[in-house]
Structure 1
């Protein structure tokens, strides 16, 4: 270790970086600093000085606050607490909500232009859209699912920011009221590692202690019901599933959509986006949803049962799409060229192998749902190498008071 770790320094904060941290300079050196806002002068404690190229630091006090600074929406994460004991998961909670969205827009535009090689003209009109009701609630009360970790003494709580230290809290303001009310913050769970608290559309809140047996829950999007395991993946914001359904329906170019083609929904989960496509283009829509989790695929088959041409298959997307690309008959190849491919990969993105396989089947259009702007930008650059250009984009603030955002794009040749 160097000799600066644990020391407090004054920093001028210049810009935002991906990951909810700000960029500052100290004698020409880059310092990544938490709990700050671009434009501020802060006192920060150096937490990592091992690298020559940059250091890391936590803000401990603010000398010149931004006009966008507010009292933190979660006192457990506030700057008044020792950085090692600040609750994680609300790293933008000290920033006024509309400015959070502006910072997210900057991160997205920066990723698209620098890594995605998208020209600046294309990024001009980008905004990060708010979801209904979030402004009235200052970006709180949206999480329908929350994970608590258990400390040595058995007490549940969130991890501290950027560590695996469990911190005791007495409220969970980002959680919906039902989730907060059900969270057993005062109980002890000796010997357990984690507690999941969720409040699906139907049947009230529930806890999953450790790796308890799974039960099925129902989530509603508009008039449609989706069944899934209580511990299975579902969008966290109370309005996220409906927002993404509408966004995917909106971004598919109907001129390029063929209901009889071999349309694909990759990383399909329990069938949310395949159903969005089916609802937009009708009963005759053919679409295959591909998901590696067997339980999710079983639910997807049931959730998509009303479309005769819908299928849910279990498979790792990389392997499945490779097989499809290499074994399809001439007739299938034509139906793939007419296809719309929807994909919603994990945070790490689709990556080169999957991008190249998708591009090799030459689909009519690709609609990509991304929860990480940097991974998305890398994949956009890879698609561009294969002739697929960004045609349209919408970005959504599905995770208020955190640095995360969701982006949906359409690519075509």
Structure 2
């Protein structure tokens, strides 16, 4: 399946502004007022109140007093959105953003560059814990772990930068690449994106202009090969591409990804308990974007499942086969792993990467349909790992997983609200949360990755 929301940087997609409902009354966009900033909320902002109305304030920290400028809202709105355009009383953890466009009214790609990294992780931990309480009725202590860059990676200019190996840039009317403003169509042109790796930022796409192009995706694999640039043309138009001598180039159309120069895939290498596993990912397809994510998440999944030789495991939303490969190695030749993935390109990648693992079987199709297939449950299932899209697995998939009665489930989640909703459904079907780890795989943004261990209650 495709996971564009996770492959693209926040603020990098189409940026369509959505309003909650038709609004009445005067538009208050641009209005300014002083507020006391309250707790952090899911979505990269904090909660404040002005004359009884809830205001979601970006670029602020809890406990600060700021001058807020409304960015969305009218007299008829249930709540307003605003930016902190001046800090009147600063929190001790406030810092100067290392990126010059990570400020109100500019790039929407980062949410927390104005906070020291330990405070960023503390804020994310608060959000995860609150979502679990509110949506799943779980009171769980949460600590967000720092994830180091791989050994040998160049040190960033500032902590928390140069971790992103995949970034999707938007293109403005003049052909310049950049990221969109928060909840906006406007493109902020960039000469650098400091959270992107040097291979991504230095691929040439930020120095050139594109014609008839909607987005430019850049993926830099860990195998040392050239970065891959995948261009999506404007609808009905033929793209005009600049020369990018240091990158492979491809064009994405409704029919697929087509080679222009170089290769149409990138290679990934992941160290796992003394071994190095190799993968290929086609056409800037889904892969965890933090350079250290593969090692961190595979270890977390292994700890959550504790696979044993001879067991049968199922990998749902398997992508290019990262967790499939790790589980295949753990259960050995006497065990088996069934991987289910809905995107044909990802299945092809997994098949190439796992061709020597005879204990692996790959199914292409929707997870819900696979879970309903009697053949899947027939031999019995010991372990399940799932890494669904940002929207979560959903009630039907959770019910199907619980029906398999695995002895342990590892749920990899990039959205704490979706995770919490699904944990509540697991509880309805006899599975309880036994452990949770949270990882800061998206420094400077509000995003956080969790790995939950679930076990049957009886």
| TM-score of the superposed pair, with normalisation by structure 1 | 0.91
Structure 1 distance, partners of 2:330, 2:320, is 18
Q: Does 1:33 align with 2:84?
A: no
1:6-405 matches, cutoff 5 A: 6-50=30-74, 52-79=77-104, 83=105, 86-118=106-138, 120=139, 123-124=140-141, 126-133=142-149, 137-202=158-223, 203-210=225-232, 211=252, 213=258, 215-222=264-271, 223-254=276-307, 257=308, 259-261=310-312, 263-322=313-372, 324=373, 327-328=374-375, 332-333=377-378, 335-336=379-380, 338-405=381-448
Cα shift at 1:113: 1.4
Contact 1:33/1:44 (<8 A) preserved: yes
Structure 2 distance, partners of 1:240, 1:229, is 18
Contact 2:145/2:439 (<8 A) preserved: yes
Cα shift at 1:328: 4.2
Cα shift at 1:161: 1.8
- Across the aligned residues of Structure 1 and Structure 2, the Cα RMSD in angstroms comes to 1.8
Seen in structure 2, the aligned counterparts of structure 1 residues 383 and 258 have a Cα distance that, compared at 3 Å, is farther
Contact 1:285/1:307 (<8 A) preserved: no
- Structure 2 regions of 5+ residues with no counterpart? 1-23, 150-154, 233-251
Cα shift at 1:290: 0.5
Contact 2:218/2:284 (<8 A) preserved: no
**Greater fraction strand:** 2
Contact 1:74/1:90 (<8 A) preserved: no
Cα shift at 1:235: 0.8
Cα shift at 1:155: 1.1
SS at 1:182's partner residue? Answer: coil
Contact 1:298/1:312 (<8 A) preserved: no
Cα shift at 1:28: 2.2
Contact 2:310/2:333 (<8 A) preserved: no
Contact 1:284/1:308 (<8 A) preserved: no
Structure 1 distance, partners of 2:158, 2:175, is 32
**Greater fraction helix:** 1
| TM-score of the superposed pair, with normalisation by structure 2 | 0.82
Structure 1 distance, partners of 2:93, 2:25, is 34
SS at 1:221's partner residue? Answer: strand
Structure 1 distance, partners of 2:311, 2:434, is 23
Deviations 1:194-250 (A, max 9, x none): 111221112122322221515132110021110120321111111111111111111
Contact 1:269/1:296 (<8 A) preserved: yes
Structure 2 distance, partners of 1:183, 1:377, is 41
Deviations 1:31-77 (A, max 9, x none): 11111111111111112224543221122111111111111121112
SS at 1:19's partner residue? Answer: coil
Cα shift at 1:90: 1.1
